[in-house]
Amino acid sequence: MCGIAGWVGQHKVEAALEQVQKATSSLAHRGPQQERIWQNELGNAVFGHRRLCIIDLSDAAAQPMHLNDRFTIVYNGEVYNYVEVRNELTKLGHSFHSHSDTEVVLTAYAQWGTDCLQRFDGMFAFTIWDEQEQTVFAARDRFGEKPFFFHFDDETLRFASELKAL
């Protein structure tokens, strides 16, 4: 179990970083081993993560995780077939720096876009920021095993693993 939280908007909001820090602090019980916050250069995307290390205990699997200076993910859950998906992505020319399913989810999104969801078997909730396109993609598993709460008001998206974090 990990905790994720974030804020994405059309414009920079000074309070967003502080809001995400408070949100991730309220999720400390979901990920007592590590807390990290990331904000993009424009300040219109802020992600927070509370980590409970299970699959890959190394710092290479820390989140928010980045790929190619373009994609950033915060993720909670487990993709049970991540080894098979990783092998498929490796055959397509991708390389990996960790042994985490998080990196597989992020790379699968970079390869297949939203169609990556069709390849995952597991329980998960995640949000991916695309810095190049300035877009956000959020998803959770088909049965909603991993919680994902959000609020959208035409200008900003706020999300978290628990309602109290919003």
Marked catalytic residue, from 1, 2, 95, 125: 2
Angle between helices 82-91 and 101-112 (to 10 degrees): 50
**Could you tell me if 92 and 114 are in contact, meaning their C-beta atoms sit under 8 angstroms apart?**
no
Q: How far is CA 92 from CA 57, 61, 101, 152, 166, in A?
A: 26, 22, 17, 36, 39
| Catalytic annotation present for 53 | no
Would you name the residues annotated as active-site residues?
2
